[in-house]
Structure 1
Amino acid sequence: MSPDRTARRVVAAALGLAGAVTVAAAPAQAADSDLTSRYVALGDSFTAGPLIPDQYGDPVFCLRSRKNYPNVVARALGVADFQDASCSGATTEHMTDPQELPLGTENDPQFDALTEDTTLVTLGVGGNDLGFGEILLTCVGLSAIDPTGDPCRTYYTDGDGGDRLADRLDETGAEVAEVLAGIRERSPDATVAVVGYLQILPESQGCWPVVPIAEEDVAYLDRTQTRLNETLAKEAANADAVFVDVFERGHDVCSARDDKWVEGIFPTKPAAPVHPNETGMAEAGARVVEALGGAAPAPLV
């Protein structure tokens, strides 16, 4: 089997399971509120932590880890009642609708975990609305025909300046805005923190064929993800929520094993391909706590 085909099968298997700068200053209500009474975590696989030991919770195919950033936050803050509703593969739709999972199982709408007495909500969603899985599979496949060019950017754009991924970003922003409004309706007194996505790719070049994204496509996809985080920050500000920016260069899929916060297509630490590892989750959790005005736990070395 060719290396390209092997890589595509590994990516497809992982995505079938997972569906898969600075910390923004917290609004005043975060520092003044009791965050520890009841904490609900909402989100997708970058929140749940697929294949990071130890996996826990029901349904099992949500692939939640006890070392995901919500658990880091709950432990650091000493939360009395913690509900991790995150589920790998979730989109904004699954905040209000059930999410179908393998073997006929499903995850309840994540909003079911919200109550009027919830004091803290974290939200990590939008990547699957943008199409993380589809984009990765498409770009991995196209890289085989032009590893030094930009076949993926060409696929998603046209000669008139159109960009389908940019259009999706606008749609994703509107969907996240609806989610934030829904959280406020159900948990009116909660502090809400929107958590950005750990950066997946470097700014340029990449590391083909270890991570088979064509050289000139790396910058295009990195800019797209950066714009996703900017979109999340904008919607958080509009909703008077905290935005937690976990952006930091040097920890992407092409970094050395000990520096990675996001694993590559062939993971070097226990985690799903192209998903955060334990170190990345610890760093994200520390930044959430810091953004909320608490003493951040020491990052893993």
Structure 2
Amino acid sequence: MALGDSYAAGAGVPGQSAGLCLRSDHNYGHLVAAALSASSYVDKTCAGAKVSALTAPQTDAGTVVDGPQLDAVAPGTSLVTLTLGGNDLGTSDLGFVDVVVACSGLALTNPLGSPCHDFYGNTLGKRLDSAAARLTDGLRKLSAKAPQAKVVVVGYPSVLPGDPTKCLGKMPVTTGDIGFLRSVLGELNDKMAGAATAAGATYVDTFGPTKGHDSCSASPWIEGLLPTSPAVPLHPNATGERVMSQAVLRTLGH
């Protein structure tokens, strides 16, 4: 079973399901299930999902997009993969992308500085602390519903490079703020890992395996703000989803 947001759903990667959840039949959950020859598989991932989507209906402009993801968990569920937390960074369902867009606008006010860092300060860290606490609680509820299930929390990939200058001309964000945003991603993954540990789940790092193939690289596995292969902006393409699936399988011993 797969739960989570657009990174887990494979948003934009062919082939896409109908509806607003943007689930791909080549997202990492599908690929893991196929590699394990799973007898059954349920995909409840949904683009725009925040941690609250585990226990409450996910809505968009007042319309219910999907029911609580944990409703699909059964007592006999044996494996659950999950990526959640990134959308809790933003004020809209776009999450991290929402923050990057804000940083792009702020870049015009101080092209040589870090206006986005100045604007957000420690706000994003506080949002992550809150999201991590909710994720820990959600993971515990998941385990209560499926006591025998192995729960795998899958982290976010390397969306931005370690060298901010590689994004010059490719990302309308100041060099200083590229570094800031990358540190936010690192903190997001750290909080997810902490939530997994606190709830007795397993954390899978996908940041390391995708390093060097970020949205500003010459060979991106995570697309830029203007994707050149099928995927939504700043999200894994088909190769990125495959690499994420391989990281999960290594953790599972396959």
Common fold: TM-score over 0.5? yes
CA–CA separation in structure 2 for the residues paired with 1:211 and 1:102: 29
Q: Which runs of 5+ in 1 are unaligned?
A: 1-39, 158-162, 295-301
- Which residue of the other structure, out of 146, 160, 165, is the alignment partner of 2:110? 146
- Measured in 1, the distance between the counterparts of 2:59 and 2:120 equals 28
2: CA distance, partners of 1:102 / 1:266: 25
| Selected match of 1:281 from 232, 236, 241 | 241
Query: Deviation of residue 62 (structure 1)?
Result: 0.3
SS of equivalent residue, structure 2 residue 45: coil
Q: Is the Cα contact below 8 Å between 1:41 and 1:122 reproduced in 2?
A: yes
Matched residue SS, 1:81: coil
How far the C-alpha of 1:122 sits from its partner, in A, is: 0.8
Do the aligned residues in 2 keep the contact of 1:265 with 1:273 (CA within 8 Å)? Answer: yes
Q: For structure 2, which runs of at least 5 residues remain unmatched after alignment?
A: 91-95
Q: CA deviation at 1:104?
A: 4.1
Q: 1:224 to 1:142 in 2, by over 3 A?
A: same
Q: Check conservation: 1:233, 1:243, Cα contact below 8 A.
A: yes
Q: Give the C-alpha shift of residue 49 in structure 1.
A: 1.1
Given that 2:229 and 2:237 are in contact with CA atoms closer than 8 Å, whether structure 1 keeps it comes out as yes
Counterpart residue number, 1:196: 155
Deviates further, 133-142 or 262-271: 133-142
| Counterpart-to-counterpart distance in 2, 1:100 and 1:239 | 27
- The TM-score normalised by the length of structure 1 is 0.79
Verify the 8 A CA contact 2:97 2:234 in the aligned structure 1: no
Residue in structure 2 matched with residue 178 of structure 1 by the alignment = 137
Secondary structure of 1:262's counterpart equals coil
Q: What is the correspondence of 1:27-42 to structure 2 with a 5 Å cutoff?
A: 40-42=1-3
Specify the alignment match of 2:4 in structure 1: 43
2:85 corresponds to: 126
Q: Is the 8 A contact 2:222 2:234 kept in 1?
A: yes
Shift, 1:133, TM fit: 3.3
**2: CA distance, partners of 1:222 / 1:141:** 18
Percent of paired sites with the same residue: 41
Counterpart in 1 of 2:101?
A: 137
TM-aligned CA deviation for residue 143 of structure 1:
1.4
* TM-score, normalised relative to structure 2: 0.93
Equivalent of residue 250 in structure 1, options 180, 201, 212? 212
Give the match's secondary structure for 1:83. Answer: coil
> Alpha-carbon deviations, 1:175-203, whole Å to 9, x = none?
11011111111111100000000111112
Matching residue's letter, 1:146: N
CA contact (8 A) 1:206 1:218 kept: no
Displacement, 1:105?
Answer: 5.0
From the superposition, tell whether residues 181 and 273 of structure 1 become closer, same or farther in structure 2 (CA, over 3 Å).
Answer: same
Q: Deviations over 1:52-90 (max 9, x none)?
A: 111025xx1100001100011010001111000000000
Alignment correspondent of 1:297: none
Q: How many angstroms does 1:102 deviate by?
A: 7.0
Is the 1:206–1:254 contact (alpha carbons within 8 Å) kept by the matching residues of 2? yes
Q: Is the 8 A contact 2:57 2:64 kept in 1?
A: no
Q: How many Å separate the matches in 1 of 2:110 and 2:245?
A: 38
Report the alpha carbon displacement of residue 96 of structure 1 after superposing the two structures with TM.
1.0
Letter in 1 for 2:106: L
Q: Secondary structure at the match of 2:41?
A: strand
Structure 2 CA distance for aligned equivalents of residues 284 and 210 of structure 1: 24
Q: What's the CA shift string for 1:143-169, capped at 9, x where partnerless?
A: 123233211001112xxxxx1112122
Distance 1:105 1:235, change over 3 A: closer
The aligned counterpart of 2:93 is none
Which piece of structure 1 moves more, 278-287 or 179-188? 179-188
d(CA) in 2 for partners of 1:219, 1:210 = 15
Q: What's the CA shift for 1:138?
A: 1.0
1:74 is aligned with what amino acid? A
